[in-house]
Structure 1
């Protein structure tokens, strides 16, 4: 098939144009690189970039300074807040310590007062018993022997004593008696005996006793009663006793209602001495009623 000359020329021209375009496209990167080298070597561009970098550093420095100032302010505020809280806590703690010390001091003072008061109290003697009743904090100071003057003696002491079982000797130089005009004079003390039979005791049994301590309380003996007034505590109740009317006078004693006897020596030996008799009421100046003639008189010892 034959091609005409015009067509051949057109194809040849198209091929030339295409090759030229390819060559120009290959030379573009080389030209750009050359342009870049020219720009980097430009002093104005370098100075411009340095100035921009300086401005950026200044901006960052300013921002850093502002951040430091802000955080320093926050730190100062935080430190002030916690310092204030710490001071308040320390003040509260010290106040609590002071209050606690004051409370402890008050409690120690109260405790000392209680200890001091516990060393004080009242004592009474229970007649006819060897120990004290465990009532209202009562304790036995000592168990003893009832004693006083002999019923036939007009002198000597009139009160009845509770003598201990373990007497101490007097000093060796203590006078044995009072010397006056060539004769000796002295008082005497005897043991005591029951002169009636009642429950556990019999006539001529020796009479025991005990000294009792009652702290923080007072005591009283009420004759003709077996119970204490309202608000008072009964320590013991029993029978009112004293000497016989034909003997020399003595004190009135409240004998426990369940009396005991001394166990030293033999029972019911008639040695006399201080004697315990029950007491009877006599009408006249003593109104009857409420009393009755020859009524045996009771008694009670109370504490409060």
Structure 2
């Protein structure tokens, strides 16, 4: 209170170390002015005895000496501080009760959660097919092992992409009406693979990279961009240019496997090495007309 006249209390540092704000260094005239202000404020609030003055018109100092006035003033300030501390303490107690209530609710929720089944959440991750192999690499997880199928190379209808079918299918109802898919074979001739794979059926593996969220197949490269993980490298393969069937480009593993017992020339879906035509691309060199294109599969 009396914020407009607090300058009356300022002075050199007081004896109690409170920066001179206890009024002990004020002279008598200043104290009389201060008590007069207190008296007027008390009279406005209806309490004419709180400072020691009366309504008789006498000087507010009355018969009080300086020490008595200082004691009365300090007591009134102390009372105001006490009320403020009580209010603050009440607020703190309310906050403490609210925190206790919140903690009890959280503990109850935790107890309820313990009775439920654990929830497994997968965040991110990426999948890819490793053509020609039955395993995955570079810390990727095998989702399933399978074999490659596609539409017949001599048919004009059907689909244009290869598929990796799992070894154990799950059927629903069926009627026998529909198109056909065929097993896929390597059509590599003398082959550049470590083992002779010509006419052998092609296996595959569908893989999951749990810590990497993107998959990229780069044709004509054997290395991945910086910060990408190399899953495998191989050769770019698809159908033959004179046949009816147009197949999607896929990256066949450089060290492929074969499905045991399936080495006959059945000519279903076929895989051929792919080469760049220098006369149409116009990028030779560095491309080479007769060289089989490489490829790499990367994740990040």
TM-score, normalization: structure 2? 0.58
Contact map agreement 2:185 2:267 (CA 8 A) in 1 = yes
The one of 214, 217, 220 aligned to 2:213: 217
Contact map agreement 2:132 2:203 (CA 8 A) in 1 = yes
User: 2:126 matched to 1:129?
Assistant: no
Partner of 2:187: 195
Partner of 1:253: 250
Contact map agreement 1:201 1:261 (CA 8 A) in 2 = no
Select the structure of larger CA radius of gyration.
1
Structure 1 residue 288, shift from structure 2 partner? 1.0
Change (3 A) 1:201 1:167: farther
User: 2:165 matched to 1:163?
Assistant: yes
Partner of 1:208: 203
Structure 1 residue 293, shift from structure 2 partner? 1.2
Structure 1 residue 142, shift from structure 2 partner? 0.4
Structure 1 residue 300, shift from structure 2 partner? 0.3
Partner of 1:150: 152
Q: Deviations over 1:154-207 (max 9, x none)?
A: 111111000111122331xx3321xxxxxxxx3110001111232134211110
User: 2:266 matched to 1:271?
Assistant: yes
Partner of 2:57: none
The one of 255, 272, 280 aligned to 1:285: 280
How many correspondences in the alignment?
203
TM-score, normalization: structure 1? 0.57
Partner of 1:116: 121
Q: Deviations over 1:79-123 (max 9, x none)?
A: xxxxxxxxx99x899979979x99xx9xxxxxxxx95343x5322
Contact map agreement 2:126 2:299 (CA 8 A) in 1 = no
Distance between the aligned counterparts of 1:157 and 1:238, measured in 2?
Answer: 24
Q: Deviations over 1:238-294 (max 9, x none)?
A: 10001111112111110011111112xx25211110111111111023211221212
Root mean square deviation, CA, Å: 3.7
Secondary structure at 1:285's aligned position in 2? Answer: helix
Partner of 2:224: 228
Distance between the aligned counterparts of 1:97 and 1:208, measured in 2?
Answer: 61
